[in-house]
């Protein structure tokens, strides 16, 4: 069935027979289980916006493969305009959900694999690109959600894939057959994994010839035999119980992205769904492009979250009677400034986009890495300012059971009230929202999602074009390039 609406999406997930475990027990229906349902609802918003006249231009695109209108989350970027619209869409979704909506990783994987498979075919004479286009046309037609599976466990980080004591610490090919491959291993921290229809598997690092069995790109349905998912713990996840609406903070959409471990135990992949098989020289380009696309997102989605958090804090200061204080206004201004600065990086890297040989557009990688690196700092600073302005009651607030208790409810309402005319429940609700948005899971994702801060610093240094900067400095200082080379040679002797 083709998914057209948010309700269609929920129905499609109920038809999946995938193995999902949480706290040691199998989840039968991820759309209804309190741990996973909020994340499912957040992803469903991506389908809802595609049918909303106000946002349809952002949430949909025209497929260059079929000419049909499709979800932007299944689209191959064909222009700078496409790249900019994606960033704008992500900000809107962050504002609408106050959470992660989980479809970015699959989109970024699609775009990276599209351009790289084209280049493999051109050099090696393979037919990966045609296979990939057929698979993508299917994804677009059915409007399926794809989880991009890249991060491996990595085992001993001082060793490469082929050097591990346990060879399964990086996902690998364990058998090649005429009709396909058999793979084994795992992918960690898979955002939206439990509520995706398809898994797009990619290598997590550049590889050499001895790691040929680890250089694999392929796609499988989420309920393929041999695939097991383990849903991760989230901050305050026990509050997601449907009875705890206030204490959850964001009762409709929950916390971050609903990350999961996805284990592959001798999983068969049909040949038509294999898009790289041992071409190690192209792993660097794939990882490089995926990382840039994914890091470009953070100025969109995280700014959307900052918009919500800034609004929540501003309203709380109004409830508490501190909104007009100059230091409060100054801190709120700084929250706005940090959010817009982060957003500008994503818009900039999109505006500086360029076409790959396949016709798919890439973002400016330097600006994408700078933007993501800003996210590792700015979101934490916004959270710090939010906690500063909200006050200590976030850490000591009684539960909604106490609020609703006949014995204690009147005390909670009396002593947690603010300015006259605003119900105490509103202060509690907005406080819990701030708590949920500044809790550990959200900030960890901002820090380590799309690579740790050091990963961006490595790329920023590589993209720094220091040779050009040296030439600029020499030109202004009046140092001739030829003379400087002679000086270096003389010094060596």
Query: Which residues have a catalytic role annotated?
Result: 100, 104, 191, 259, 294, 298, 301, 445
Helix ranges restricted to H, 75-148: 80-97, 104-124, 128-142
Q: Which helix (H) or strand (E) holds 270?
A: strand 260-270
In the three-class reduction of DSSP (H, G, I as helix; E, B as strand; rest coil), residue 346 is classed as: helix
- Count CA within 13 A, CB hemisphere, residue 314: 13
The Cα 240–Cα 231 span in angstroms is 14
The Cα 340–Cα 281 span in angstroms is 38
Instruction: List phi, psi (to 5°) of 323.
Output: -60, -30
Residue 429 makes CB contacts below 8 A (sequence gap 6+) with: 246
Neighbours of 254 (CB within 10 A): 30
- As to burial, measured by CB atoms within 10 angstroms (0-12 exposed, 13-18 middle, 19+ buried), residue 10 is buried
Is the distance from CB of 140 to CB of 68 less than 8 angstroms?
Answer: yes
What residues form DSSP beta bridges with 182?
A: 175, 268
Is the distance from CB of 382 to CB of 94 less than 8 angstroms?
Answer: no
Cα pseudo-dihedral 55, 56, 62, 67, rounded to 10? 180
The Cα 102–Cα 97 span in angstroms is 11
């Amino acid at each position: 069935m083709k998914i057209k609406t948010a309700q269609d999406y929920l129905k499609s997930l109920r038809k999946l027979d995938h193995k999902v475990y949480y706290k040691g027990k199998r989840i039968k229906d991820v759309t209804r289980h309190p741990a996973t349902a909020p994340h499912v609802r957040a992803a469903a918003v991506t389908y809802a916006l595609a049918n909303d006249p106000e946002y349809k231009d952002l949430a949909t695109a025209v497929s260059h493969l079929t000419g049909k209108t499709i979800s932007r989350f299944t689209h191959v970027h064909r222009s700078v305009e496409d790249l900019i619209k994606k960033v704008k869409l992500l900000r809107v979704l962050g504002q609408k959900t106050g959470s992660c909506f989980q479809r970015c990783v699959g989109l970024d994987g699609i775009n990276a694999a599209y351009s790289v498979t084209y280049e493999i075919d051109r050099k090696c004479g393979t037919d990966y690109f045609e296979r990939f286009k057929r698979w993508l046309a299917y994804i677009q037609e059915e409007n399926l959600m794809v989880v991009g599976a890249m991060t491996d466990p990595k085992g001993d980080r001082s060793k490469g894939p082929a050097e591990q004591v346990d060879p399964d610490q990086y996902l690998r090919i364990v058998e090649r057959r005429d009709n396909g491959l058999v793979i084994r291993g795992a992918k960690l921290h898979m955002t939206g994994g439990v509520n995706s229809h398809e898994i797009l598997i990619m290598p997590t690092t550049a590889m050499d010839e001895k790691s040929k069995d680890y250089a694999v790109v392929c796609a499988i349905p989420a309920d393929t035999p041999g695939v097991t998912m383990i849903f991760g713990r989230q901050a305050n996840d026990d509050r997601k119980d449907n009875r705890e609406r206030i204490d959850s903070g964001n009762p409709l959409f929950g916390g971050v992205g609903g990350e999961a471990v996805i284990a592959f135990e001798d999983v068969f992949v049909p040949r038509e769904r294999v898009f790289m098989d041992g071409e190690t020289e192209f792993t660097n380009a794939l990882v490089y492009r995926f990382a840039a696309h994914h890091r470009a997102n953070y100025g969109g989605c995280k700014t959307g979250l900052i918009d919500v958090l800034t609004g929540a804090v501003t309203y709380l200061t109004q409830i508490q009677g501190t909104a007009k204080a100059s230091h409060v206004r100054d801190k709120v201004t700084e929250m706005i400034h940090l959010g817009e600065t982060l957003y500008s990086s994503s818009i900039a890297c999109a505006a500086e986009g360029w076409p790959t040989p396949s016709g798919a557009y890439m973002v400016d990688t330097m600006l994408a890495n700078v933007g993501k690196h800003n996210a590792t700092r700015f979101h934490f600073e916004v959270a710090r300012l939010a906690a500063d302005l909200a006050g200590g009651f976030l850490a000591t607030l009684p539960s909604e059971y106490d609020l609703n208790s006949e014995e204690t409810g009147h005390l909670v309402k009396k002593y947690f009230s603010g300015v006259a005319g605003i119900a105490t429940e509103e202060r509690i609700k907005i406080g819990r929202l701030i708590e949920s948005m500044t809790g550990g899971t959200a900030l960890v994702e901002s820090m380590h999602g799309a690579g740790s801060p050091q990963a961006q610093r490595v790329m920023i240094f590589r993209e720094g074009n220091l040779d050009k900067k040296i030439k600029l400095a020499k030109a202004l200082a009046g140092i001739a390039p030829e003379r400087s080379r002679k000086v270096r040679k003389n010094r060596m002797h």
